[in-house]
Structure 1
Amino acid sequence: MRFSVFTAATPDWTPEEAVTRLADQGWEGVEWRVVDQQDAPEPGFWAGNRCTWPLSSLRGDVPRIRKLTEEAGLAMSGIGGYASCHERDDVETLLAATAELGAGRVRVRTPGLDGTPYPELFDGARRAFAWVAERAAHHGVKALVELHHQTIVSSASAALRLLDGLDPAAVGVIHDLGNLVIEGGEDNRAGLEMLGPYLAHVHVKNCSWYPVETGDDGTVRWEHRWDELPTGQVDVHGYLRTLREVGYDGWVTLEDFSTARPLAERTARDLAYLRAGL
């Protein structure tokens, strides 16, 4: 397995700073965040992230992205796109740029749960991903579905239903350990095994549930928070062992959204912890 960092988790750094720091720490790759994001007074994971490439200028930025990455001695583990499977123009842009960059794989989002009946959302996404698979094959890249809470594919079994019958050379699944703590949790081995050839990529972060309020009737309300890799609810080292046992030998991409430590300390510590788990 090879370790990379998704730049959603490095909001304080510019792309130039990110590749330099990650290479110096010993990371092997970077997964670039691509989206036309909102501004923010301070850099944040989801808005004002300084390590994000705008989708609107992505094709023109390809030479710079490739040059920065290659000169730092890093590989691209993938492209972290935010375009929905229904947004054909944006998906086409992501697929073409991923091919030009030689990044190999790019995330394409699935519909979120918005009150529309689930069967309707799911059937529409099935039709959309048939087109996505065709276009991904045309560009020679793989479009990835991420297991994510509050979407139609929060679990491995749901993702398999979505992609079943499509060419696993053109579409695949990002198994995301931290997201599965929030929703969609299945036995990790079973989930990885059921995905079979659709298991294409892995994101690692950790998460825990905390009680935050007790109502007048005694009902306790809980909320999830992102935790450091060693201290969240899931055993990351055990997960790495399971990945190895099921034959996975691809990229493991860090997506650590904890904030207890400064960014540079956090990424360095995470790499040491991940390597210790192999």
Structure 2
Amino acid sequence: MKFSVFTASTPEWTPQEAATELAAQGWDGIEWRVIDQNDAPTPGFWAGNKATWPMTGLLDSVPEIARITSGAGLEYSGLGGYARCDNHDDVETVLAATAALGARQVRVNVLPLGNSTMGGQEPTGLSYPELFDSTREHYEWVAQRAAHYGVKALIELHHGSVTASASSARRLLEGLDSRHVGVIHDLGNLLIEGWESPLPALELLGPYLAHIHVKNARWVRTGDPDEVGAAVWVNEWAPLAEGQGSVLDYFRALAAVGYDDWVTVEDFSTDVPLAERTAGNLTFLRRAAELAGLNVNRSEHVSAGSTPKG
């Protein structure tokens, strides 16, 4: 098993700083965030994130992405793309960039639910069956283009989307070539929507289980009840060791299904400063993986600017 960091969660670092710092801490790889984002006066996870590569001109950025990544001695766990499956031009670009980098796999987003306001968008009002069928149609095209480039397009289990659960993702991808489409199982997202007991969910995904994202979340009670006097609960991100999901139990489920590939961390908690947070997360994850009986990679990395191994 190898560990990487998704740079959505490292907004204060430039790409060079992120690669250098993560390599020095002992991470195996990096998952670059790729999106045209809004500016912000202070770097944040979703706007003004310094460790983000713009979607516009992405193919022109490939040599610089490769230079920074290989110069730090890091591997790619994949690319953290935001191209939506119905935007075929953007999908084509991220698939081509993934192939050019040798990054193997890239997230290609499914359609949001009809009542979703995620990302500040206006709800479409479309029904779930309509959105599901449309996503399936687009993903059939995505699978063909991923095969053309020799890479894999990944669906992330995500609240507010047509694939919030393992069951819905398996149904969406059924019959498509698992060499070129797969699923990102995400512990933290599933605590918000789509929770299914990890072991049977991972077993259900079978050959479509392609990648793992780990973060944690918790539900907190607000101070005000709703109109009928009932308690109101909202979700928030939490440090890996303090959320409602057991990372140890999650890793035990991964061990039970024989998963031995990348685990990418995207910790959106802010209780601890960034450098301390990422370093602590690696220590925590290695310990949990070892206790779960997983094979933990302990490779050494070269520093940025030196000659990478191999």
Q: TM-score, normalised by structure 1?
A: 0.99
Deviation at 1:244, TM superposition (A): 1.2
> Which residue is equivalent to 2:119?
none
Mapping 1:131-150, distance limit 5 Å = 131-150=141-160
Amino acid at match of 1:86: D
> Which residue is equivalent to 2:292?
none
- Give yes or no for the alignment of 1:111 onto 2:122: no
> Which residue is equivalent to 2:164?
154
Cα deviation per residue 1:174-233 (whole Å; 9 max; x = unaligned)? Answer: 000000000000010011000000000000000000010223632111100100001100
Q: For structure 1, which segment, 239-248 or 96-105, has the greater mean C-alpha deviation from structure 2 after superposition?
A: 239-248
Mapping 1:164-203, distance limit 5 Å = 164-203=174-213
Where does structure 1 lack aligned partners over 5 or more consecutive residues? none
- Give yes or no for the alignment of 1:101 onto 2:101: yes
> Which residue is equivalent to 1:44?
44
Cα deviation per residue 1:116-159 (whole Å; 9 max; x = unaligned)? Answer: 11100000010000000000000000000000001000000000
> Which residue is equivalent to 1:84?
84
Deviation at 1:105, TM superposition (A): 0.2
Structure 1 residues 216, 125: CA separation in 2 closer, same or farther (over 3 Å shift)?
Answer: closer
Q: For structure 1, which segment, 208-217 or 108-117, has the greater mean C-alpha deviation from structure 2 after superposition?
A: 208-217
Moved over 3 A (4+): none
- Give yes or no for the alignment of 1:246 onto 2:271: no
Amino acid at match of 1:276: R
> Which residue is equivalent to 1:4?
4
Amino acid at match of 1:255: E
> Which residue is equivalent to 1:269?
280
Mapping 1:229-240, distance limit 5 Å = 229-240=240-251
Deviation at 1:242, TM superposition (A): 1.2
Amino acid at match of 2:177: D
Count of matched residue pairs: 278
RMSD over equivalenced CA pairs, Å: 0.7
Deviation at 1:266, TM superposition (A): 0.4
Mapping 1:55-66, distance limit 5 Å = 55-66=55-66
Structure 1 residues 132, 216: CA separation in 2 closer, same or farther (over 3 Å shift)?
Answer: closer
> Which residue is equivalent to 2:236?
225
Q: Secondary structure at the match of 1:158?
A: helix
Identity of aligned residues (%): 60
Q: Secondary structure at the match of 2:40?
A: coil
Higher relative contact order (CA 8 A, sep 6+): 2
Q: TM-score, normalised by structure 2?
A: 0.89
Deviation at 1:241, TM superposition (A): 1.6
